[in-house]
Amino acid sequence: MSRVYQKLKKRQGWEIDPNFLQIERALDNMLSDLPADLCVNFPADGSPPWLPSALLGNVHSYHYLTVILFNRPLLSYLDPTNNEAEWKRHMMICYNAAKCLCRLQEAVLAAFGLAGLQNMQRGSSFTLYGGLSCIVLHLSHERSNH
């Protein structure tokens, strides 16, 4: 994603460039292509998933934050009044990723404590950034429903 972004960011309308948009397929396929022991199952009742290690929770957290970061430029580019269906689709992708990210962080914290969150590649600042991103998405989602 970074390489594609570096190549495209100087062009106007890069957010809808086919080279950038093809990343979405890779993100969609990533979780389904994982071996069974690296998958996380989210309970239907909304409770945090069971995690065998903080590392697995953190890897999945990175995935969901990447989904949010990928869709954020599209949300900025699309006008919700002119492209309501497409904007809402990307908003729901972000919102669902944010919910998964919150549940993963909750599971890591419950099972492994603060040390589990601090073991992320970028430490606790990543955890805070992820949490704040989720809050912003939740507030945006609530605002768009009113």
Indicate if the pLDDT at residue 80 is higher than 70: yes
Give CA–CA dist 126/87, Å, rounded: 26
Number of domains in the chain: 1
Question: Would you say residue 89 lies in a domain?
Answer: yes
Q: What is the pTM of this model?
A: 0.77
Question: Would you say residue 117 lies in a domain?
Answer: yes
Question: Would you say residue 119 lies in a domain?
Answer: yes
- Taking residue 93's Cβ as centre, other Cβ atoms within 10 Å add up to 19
Indicate if the pLDDT at residue 110 is higher than 90: yes
pLDDT (mean) for 56-72: 88
More confident residue, 70 or 133: 70
Question: Would you say residue 6 lies in a domain?
Answer: yes
State which residues form the domain around 9. Answer: 2-27+51-144
More confident residue, 112 or 2: 112
pLDDT given for residue 144 in this prediction: 67
Tell which residue, 37, 42, 35, 1, has the closest CA to residue 21. Answer: 1
Question: Would you say residue 38 lies in a domain?
Answer: no
Listed as own residue / partner, the contacts of 86-91 with beta carbons closer than 8 Å and 24 or more positions apart are 88/144, 91/137, 91/140, 91/141, 91/144
**Burial class (CB within 10 angstroms; exposed 0-12, middle 13-18, buried 19+) of 104:** buried
Question: Would you say residue 42 lies in a domain?
Answer: no
